[in-house]
Structure 1
Amino acid sequence: MKVFLISTAVLATTASAFTSSPSFLPQRQQQQQQQRLTRSTSALCNSRVDSSEAIEAALEASKKYGPTSKEARVAWDIVEEMDASDNSNAYKGGEGSSSAEDQKEYNAKISELAALLEEQKAKVEKVKTLAQEIQAVKLAKPTIAASADSPAMRDALAKAKEATEQYGSDSKEAALAWEALEEVASSDYGEATK
């Protein structure tokens, strides 16, 4: 029998941790807090939660048990949770609550946007189709033909080699001769006109 009474007492004290009213508050304050919680979850869901009584209880617990006590911390946690559960701003309009005229303008802009999107939809589909058609086109790989062996190219190559042997590879004369060879080679438009 004693074990039953002790386990019941332990269960009752530990179960108070899961209630909405802390067990250290007097019975009257627990009832008031329970009524506040019931009221705040009823028809006033979108109104601001009144945490003034919870603040008073937290101040009282801070005075009675000390500001760093567990009781005071729990009381202040309750205040914090009540304030955090305040969703009243979510149900209010913005600073300039929209009037019927604003709503009409908004709806007109949304309709205009929908029309533009519908208009662009056909163009986007056309672009997708063209992209698929371009991907399907098979291009022949270009054949690389040997460059034409023109007499001007052979002559410029011979002059460049001769200038390099006579003046050295770092000389201005050799550099000019090699540039002349490059010009002759780049002026060969035979590959581009095929």
Structure 2
Amino acid sequence: MREGLVNFRGIKEGIYICIKEGEFQQIKRELEKKLVESIDFFGGANLLGIKGENITEDEIDELLEMIRTKFKLHISEDGLPSHLDEKPYKGIYEGMTKFINSTIRSGQVIEYDGNIVIIGDVNPGALIKAKGNIIILGTLRGVAHAGIDGNYKAIVAAYDLQPTQLRIANIIGRQPDGDIITSGLPEVAKIYDGEVLIEPYLPRK
């Protein structure tokens, strides 16, 4: 492939997408064009992630989301096999975290620029909003919106997930049909293939 702002570098474990410094929308268009031209090849390749000069985390996230949703390709970052790429808690990073040691009652609004950890329940009518992740050491029955600035890697986790509404970035989780059946395990909500997926959190042994 010709050299440009977007190039592909192969190693033994798979292929990295390498981004040179440039205007982001041009980078995005070039990546999309090259993927369209080579989709048959990349459909069977192990994509390891994106590396670049002077590209922000938000821009990388936007490119990864386009790859996953438009081209249905999996990114196996850090050399992990594709089927391990979307494990719960993959992508949690340290950062500013607000800890709240109380139950959040109806009408209360909690908002923070980083992660929020609530040691207690979130009652119906309460709203939790975070730019990062939302972790509830109790039952979530209110509204939770993680990744409010467009962070698709954000997650919502709780001992018992029964939200009135659950949202990550701009994607709203669909309410299940019928009664909610709890798993008896802590649960994690994350984005997978453009949808909010809720699954039990099973710690790795």
Question: What interval of TM-score do these two structures reach, taking the shorter chain for normalisation?
Answer: under 0.3
If the length of structure 2 is used for normalisation, what is the TM-score?
0.17
If the length of structure 1 is used for normalisation, what is the TM-score?
0.18
Larger Rg belongs to: 1
The answer to which structure has the higher helix fraction is: 1
The answer to which structure has the higher strand fraction is: 2
